[in-house]
Structure 1
Amino acid sequence: MLDRARAILRHEAAALEALSNRIDQSICKLANHILTSPGVVVVCGIGKSRLVGKKISATLASTGTRSITLDPVDALHGDLGRVRPGDLILALSNSGETAEIMQLICAARQLSVIVALITGRASSPLAQAADVILDIGPIEEACALGLAPTTSTTAMLAVGDALALLAQERRGFSRHDFARLHPAGSLGRGLLTVREVMWPLDSIPMLRPNTPLSIALLSICGAPRRTGVAAIVGDSGRVTGLLTGQAISRLVESAAAPDLSDPVERHMLHPTTWIPGHASLNEAVQLFHRYGIDLIPVYDEQESFIGLIFRQDVLRPT
């Protein structure tokens, strides 16, 4: 069985190698259409091709190209309303004879769209109806029966990846753009900087060390954005301490309630470390783990205090 599994992988790898030699300028033409089109890329297919199309559409969207998927059957029953003039339809059909896609193309032609096709038959009816053809050629499936879509869908997916990345690179899509589109993913968050995630000064009460505890409590509770913390700033402009609402609550609930006229410097926590605003979130994660703290002051290149970064905004609970 292991030998068969390895043979299947070699079969598909060989097909992709052959495809890399077969692909022509049509893929560059289609990438240019994507870059200049005012609309979205509408990806459609039937069966396994539909599933491959969903992944291609997702890759396009995550690399800067607006894209949606459209089921051809649903399109013929009202969802064609999702398509607008200026859109680009990218259809997937190995045989090039999928009737539902042909009907969809005929209907969409009334909307002034560009039609592209990924297919294994460049002379098929669908290919004749398309503006741009990405021909993967006749491909022998890895299935022992030669029936289950395997190698052909792998080839379609690889062509979709190549198309999405060509558009990404020509567009100048940057690491920052990637992070912006992946704010909740570990890859994207790792590309964000501390400055982009921190709480800025306008959301943090800033107090002097001699501020009475009562005023500090009112400042924390009355802040427009409830961070639950105040920064204690000394004469140098640097953070000398941090006062959290939780710490005040513990003081109030303790047996020896504090004198609310006490200066905050008697009850503040001294910051363990700090981080520059241009540092990556990965660096902040390392500091949170190393010191076991919940807050880190952030400074700019001139070592001026510019905000706070919270553990809860960087680390997900485990």
Structure 2
Amino acid sequence: MAQHPFSKFVAILGRGKTKQRHLTVEESREAMEMLLAGETHPEQVGAFLMLLRLKEESPSEIAGFAMGSKARFDLPDDLPEVDLDWSSYAGKRVQLPYYILSALALVGAGYRVFMHGTEGHTPGRVYTREVLEHLGIPVCASFDEAAQNIRATGFAYVPLEVLSERLRELINLRPILGLRSPVHSFTRMLNPFHAKASILGIFHRGFMDIHAGAAQLMDEPAMSVFRGDGGEAERRPNKPTQVWTTRGTSEPEVETWPALLDDGHAPKDEEMDIARLGTIWDGTETNDYATRAITGTMAIALKTMGKAASIDAAQALADEIWRTRDTGRTPGAR
């Protein structure tokens, strides 16, 4: 029986501690293109993903997987310019997703934001899609619709199944395999509309150098990664935040952003009522934790985009954007 073409990738990862190695960018890209094209057996998919999980992904693998995925996107010929790519794949369980208000405030200030993500893979979390639908912001069903929304409103949210139905199937293997897979990591790096900057949140501190290294290999123009609340791109205002920023192939700039609140403890939101996001936006509710999370997250985005030269200047600009927002209108809504 002839050896299956995909088996070489499983063999590289599974040869044991002394012989296994990381996949190169080229190998990772080829492997992902085969996975997305359906040129693999289910047994190979499970073995491949879990061997990667056991070994832990490398920058070359994250970069190759993202590049292989992007190669299969059927994008419009005339892409709109996008200022910021915002990935959202984790969901929130302790605090409301205040990062959504950060993104919308930036849109209200004239920046164009492309957000992509998924939901439902982990029970008990609040995901981006349900919040946007509650706020009356459309969820895009195609790349063409996303391009139209960016041009019309400055904002688009595209769920993972629109980017790639196969990637959505792979990320939904989590309850079957019992562990997260590399799909949870590299989807954050997709930047489908080639935005000039991107920010992403991670849950495990050890992945910051991996994502930063992948961004260098992909020659991303500007990307910041930090340990965000719940794994989302949301700054925790009660804790110092280490941010790794890469620009092209240059070495990462590592900065520690200070805590914005004196109290180091963030109480759990027992209700997680997404309706409160609307009242925080329109100013009906004043919440210091929420405000600091919103503006602190904006500040990281603004500095990543090159709109501020220092942490203090970025925070001052973010505070001004939030103070002068149009409380009577939700950006991106129709």
TM-score scaled by length of structure 2: 0.28
By relative contact order (CA 8 Å, sep 6+), the higher-ranking structure is 2
TM-score scaled by length of structure 1: 0.29
Structure number with larger C-alpha Rg: 1
Whose strand proportion is higher, 1 or 2?
1
